[in-house]
A = this chain, B = another copy of it.
Amino acid sequence: MGSWTRPSCKCCTSRPVQPLVALELSEDINMETKRWLMFRIQAEKTAGGAELMVHPGEDDDGNMLLVSASRHVLLRTAEVLGLYKLYKDGSMISFSYRDRRNFENSDNIDEFLTLAERQFIVLRTLENIKAVDEKYIPGYPTKSLYPGEAIFNRLQKTKLLHAFYPLHHEEMLNELESHWYSHRKLTLQPIDSICRYYGGSIAMYFSFLEFFTCSLAPMAIFGTMVFALSMGTVDKCILFSVFNIIWSTVIMELWKRHSFVLAYTWGTLQMNSQFEEPRMGYKGPMGTNPITHRRQPYYPTWKRKVKIWLVSVPVLCLFLAFSLYGMFIFLRLEAWVKALYSENEDCWGCMLYIPGILHTLCITALNVCYKEIAEVLTEWENHRLESSFQNHLTVKVLVFRFVNCFSALFYISFYLQDLELLRKKLASLLILTQIINQFIETLLPYFYKTLIGKETGLKNCAVENAPEIDKIKPQGQKTTFPGMFDEYMELFVQFGYVSLFSCIYPLSAILIILNNITEIRTDALKLCHLFRKPFISPAANIGVWQTAFETIGFLSVITNCLLISISPQVKEYCAENNVTSNSVLIWAIGVEHALLAIKIILAFVIPDIPQWVKLKIDRVEYQSLQALKHKLFEEGKGFGGEVEEKEGWQGGITWPDSADSSLHASNRQLNLL
C-alpha cells in the first residue's frame, strides 16, 4: 500500500493514511494563519470546512502540510463531482454514495477511485473552501477576504501558500515507468495505467500521440510506394493528395470513435459539465445554479459573449496583424540583404542570416507576450468550467501560433508560387524539429541520470524508515507542469506539414513517425521526472484540438488542389498539350469541391459513437427517465397513492362496462345483419 506517513506523535493512533496532496506554505507564515488553515481544512462542512485530514510533514522548517481524505469523504465528493463508475450490471453510472455497494469494487477505495481521481477530489475540495465570516486572513489584518472568496486562491495570490501539488506514489510510478518507456522494445503504451496514475487528459494526449503515429504508417508506406512508382509527377501528386485527404478524414473520424470508447471506459463520457462545480477562478454574485439548484456564484453568459466578441477577438486580430506585418518586413529585409550581398561580395555571408534571426526573435517575443495577454483575457472572460477556460485559451493561442508557423509557407507557395523554396523550407523545418527532438531525447536522460540520478541513488540507499518528508520535499522543488499545450501544438504543426503540403514533400510522414516514437518516450520521461505531478481533471476528449485537426483536414483539400494546379509540372503539361491555365484552374476547383464533398460525406457516414457505447448510454438514459417518473410519483405518493386507488376502481367500472356494452352492441348489430 505504497508510502505512509509514519505517525510520530502518540496521539496519531489512527491507521496510517497515505498523503495525497502537499501544501507548501511560506517559511515565515504566521502560526495563527497556519492553525486557521489547518482548522478550515479539517472542520465539518457546516463550519465551512473541507472535512479533509491534514498532517504537518515533519520537516525542519515546518512549512509543509500533507493533506489526505478519508474513504467516506472521497466517495461523497466523487458523487458531488458526478464521477461515473462501473455498476454491477456492467454499465457506467453516475456514482451514488448511498448505493456504493452495488458499484464494482467500491469497498477497496484505492481500486475504486484512481490515484488521479483521489487527488483531483482533494484539489476540488480544497479549492472550494470559501471564506465564511473572516474579514481578513487571520494573522494578516492587511490581507482582506470577502465572504465566499476561495481562500486557497487568496493564499496563493498573497504568496502565503507557495504551492500545492499531488504527491507521487513511488511503487505505482516505478511500475508505470517499467511498462511505459523504460524498456527498449516497441510496444503500445499502458494507456489505462497512465489514466489511473495521471488522469484523463494526459492519458488522452498519449493515446492520441500513439494513435496519430500509428495512423501515419499507411501514409508513409503509400508515400514511398507512390514515389517508387514510375509515373508522371503530376499523377503522383494527384494520387497522393487524394489519398492524403481521405486518410486525414478517416483517421480523425476513427480517433473520434476511439476517444469515445476510452472516455466511456474511464467514465468521463457522460459527465455533464453543466453539473460540475465552477472553477476556482470563477467570480460572480452567489446565486442558485438553475440546473442543480446548488448555491454557486453565477455570471451571465451574455456578458461573457460580449467580452469575447468585443475584446478578445479584436485583440487576437491585432496581434495577427502584427505578426503578418513582421513577416512582410522580414521578407523585404531578406530580399534587400540578398541584393546587397550579391552586388558587393566583400561583406560577410553571415549577414544573410540576420533577417531570419531577427524575425525568429520578434515572433518568439510576440508569442510570449501574446500568450500572457491571452491568459489574462481568458481569465477575465470568467469561464465557469475549467474545460471551457482551457478551450478558450487554447483557441486563442492556437490560432496565433498557426498563423506564425504557416503564414510564411503559405506566402511562399501561393504568392511567390516558388515550390522549390517551399520544398526546401519544409524539409529544413522537418529535419530541424527532428534534430531538436533527438537532441532533447538524448539530452534528457543524461541530465536525469547525472543530476537527479544522484539524489535517487541516495534515496535508494536511505534507510526504510527515513521520514517520508525526505521523499516528498524533492517533488516540490521540481518545476510545475506547463500543461499539454505545447505537446499538442507540436503534433498539430506536424499534421499541418503532412497534410497541407503533402504532395510537395511526401516523405514527411516517415520522418514524423521516427520523431514521434522518440517523442513518446521523451514526453513520458519529462512527465515522470522533470515536472511536479500535475492535478488533472477527467477529460472526455482532446477538446478543441479535435476541431483544430479537422479544420486542418479541410484546409489541406484547398492547399493540395492549389499546389497541384500551380506546380511547374502541370504548367509544362499545359504548355505541351496547350491547355489554358484558366481551364486548369477550373479543373482544380472542381476537384477541390468534389473532395470536400467526399470528406463531408465520409465524416457523415462514419458514426462518431460506436454502436455498443451508444446502446449502453441510451439504456442508462432510459433507466434514468423511468427512475425520475418513479421518484416523482414516490414524492407525491401521499396524495397520488389514493388517487391511484380511486382511479383504478373508476377505470374498473367504466372499462369493462363500456367495453362489453359495445360488444353487445356489436353482437346485436351482427345478428341484425
Contact = CB atoms under 8 A, between A and B. Distances in A.
Given A611-B301, A657-B14, A673 B31 contact: yes
Given A98-B633, A627-B628, A658-B70, A663 B38 contact: yes
Given A582-B581, A629-B99, A632-B102, A664 B11 contact: yes
Contact of A632 (B79, B93, B585, B659): B93
Interface stretch (A179-187, A256-264, A640-648): A640-648
Contact of A98 (B35, B71, B623, B629): B629
Interface stretch (A48-56, A242-250, A349-357): A48-56
Interface stretch (A369-377, A525-533, A612-620): A612-620
A582 B56 CA distance: 76
Given A633-B96, A661-B11, A623 B618 contact: no
A111 interface: no
Interface string A1-22: 0000001110111110100000
A456 to B, nearest CB: 29
B632 A630 contact: no
Nearest to A652: B72
Interface in A54-107: 54-56, 58, 62, 70-72, 79, 82, 87, 93-94, 96, 98-102
A440 B99 CA distance: 66
A657 B622 contact: no
Contact of A62 (B100, B657, B669): B669
Nearest to A98: B633
B290 A619 contact: yes
A593 B621 CA distance: 41
A326 to B, nearest CB: 24
A79 B630 CA distance: 12
Copies in the complex: 2
A658 B14 contact: yes
Contact of A657 (B13, B586, B639, B650): B13
A480 interface: no
Contact of A70 (B51, B96, B623, B655): B655
A169 interface: no
Interface string A213-241: 00000000000000000000000000000
A581 B583 CA distance: 11
Given A42-B663, A668-B9, A631 B631 contact: yes
Contacts of A620: 628
A17 B668 CA distance: 19
A636 interface: yes
A250 to B, nearest CB: 16
Nearest to A562: B589
The 10 closest A-B pairs by CB, nearest first: A96-B629, A624-B624, A14-B658, A99-B633, A72-B651, A627-B631, A627-B628, A627-B627, A624-B628, A56-B669
13 contacts: A7-B661, A12-B661, A12-B662, A72-B647, A72-B651, A93-B632, A96-B629, A98-B640, A102-B632, A274-B618, A582-B582, A624-B627, A626-B631
Given A9-B661, A35-B670, A627-B627, 20 more contacts: A9-B668, A11-B664, A34-B666, A35-B666, A42-B660, A62-B670, A62-B673, A87-B632, A93-B628, A96-B629, A96-B630, A100-B640, A272-B622, A275-B622, A581-B582, A582-B585, A585-B586, A624-B625, A626-B631, A627-B631
